[in-house]
């Protein structure tokens, strides 16, 4: 008779159903929902945990025979945390892109204007954006100005300012700038 683990690794439908409907998977679902996840996200985490558990067992990471469901629960916790980090990063990237779009819009507004009213509004937007940028430290101000007002690439900025990881610094300064903009818009 094949062992439970071998059937699990061979994707035996009956064994996978047993694992999927086990109280440990119910606990993983409940944990995801208690931490603010949707039922769909909870199901995703369970499925990903099962897949990850198979992968780890194949790599020899499962050592304690008879403690499979404890192992699965630990894997489920890890998967939930990784999914949370991924979503947080995705949201951060979306916000970074929207701020970058705002900066580009201000730059594009420097073109020829149809009326005095538009020119006044454009100057007001530039002054407001300048005040936000001036709230950053000197290095942040320089990085934003080089990137968005002078068109330097991140690599060129890194060389010019002596920054080893300009993409990380750029991300951090955009994040700080976003906080400054949000704070000032609230008041």
HSE value, Cβ hemisphere, 13 Å, CA-based, for 44: 13
Q: Give the model's pLDDT for residue 113.
A: 44
- CATH topology for the 109-186 domain: Arc Repressor Mutant, subunit A (1.10.10)
- Per-residue pLDDT for 117 more than 50? yes
More confident site: 166 or 27: 27
Give the distance between the most distant pair of CA atoms in the chain.
86
Note the pLDDT tens digit of each residue in 11-61: 888 988 998 898 888 988 998 888 888 888 889 888 988 998 998 888 888
> CA of 39: how far to CAs of 29, 35, 43, 88, in Å?
7, 11, 6, 18
**What's the fold here for domain 4-88?**
Rna Polymerase Sigma Factor; Chain: A (1.10.1740)
Domain ranges of the chain: 4-88, 109-186
pLDDT at 129: 77
Burial class (CB in 10 A: 0-12, 13-18, 19+), 153: exposed
Task: Tell me whether domains 4-88 and 109-186 share a fold.
Answer: no
77-114 pLDDT, tens per residue? 888 888 887 777 666 666 666 666 666 665 555 555 44
**What distance in Å separates the CA atoms of residue 88 and residue 10, rounded to the nearest whole number?**
34
Q: What is the mean pLDDT of the chain?
A: 79
Residue 115 has pLDDT above 60, yes or no: no
- Smallest CA-to-CA distance from 77 within 141, 34, 123, 14 is with 34
Q: Report pLDDT for 124.
A: 62
* Cβ pair 32, 80 in contact under 8 A: yes
Contacts for 159 with CB less than 8 Å, ≥ 6 apart: none
**What is the end-to-end Cα distance of the chain in Å, rounded?**
70
């Amino acid at each position: 008779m094949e062992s439970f683990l071998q059937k699990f690794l061979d994707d035996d439908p009956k064994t996978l159903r047993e694992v999927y409907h086990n109280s440990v998977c119910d606990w993983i679902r409940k944990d995801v929902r208690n931490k603010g996840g949707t039922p769909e996200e909870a199901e995703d985490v369970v499925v990903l945990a099962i897949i990850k558990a198979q992968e780890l067992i194949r790599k020899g990471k499962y050592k304690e025979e008879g403690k499979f469901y404890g192992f699965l629960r630990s894997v489920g916790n890890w998967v939930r945390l990784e999914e949370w980090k991924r979503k947080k990063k995705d949201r951060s990237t979306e916000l970074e892109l929207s701020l970058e779009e705002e900066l580009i819009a201000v730059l594009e507004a420097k073109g020829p204007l149809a009326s005095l009213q538009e020119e006044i509004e454009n100057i007001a937007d530039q002054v407001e954006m300048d005040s936000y940028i001036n709230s950053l430290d000197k290095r942040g101000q320089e990085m934003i100005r080089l990137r968005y007002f002078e068109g330097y690439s991140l690599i060129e900025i890194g060389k010019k300012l002596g920054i080893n990881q300009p993409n990380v610094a750029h991300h951090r300064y955009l994040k700080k700038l976003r906080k400054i903009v949000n704070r000032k818009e609230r008041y």
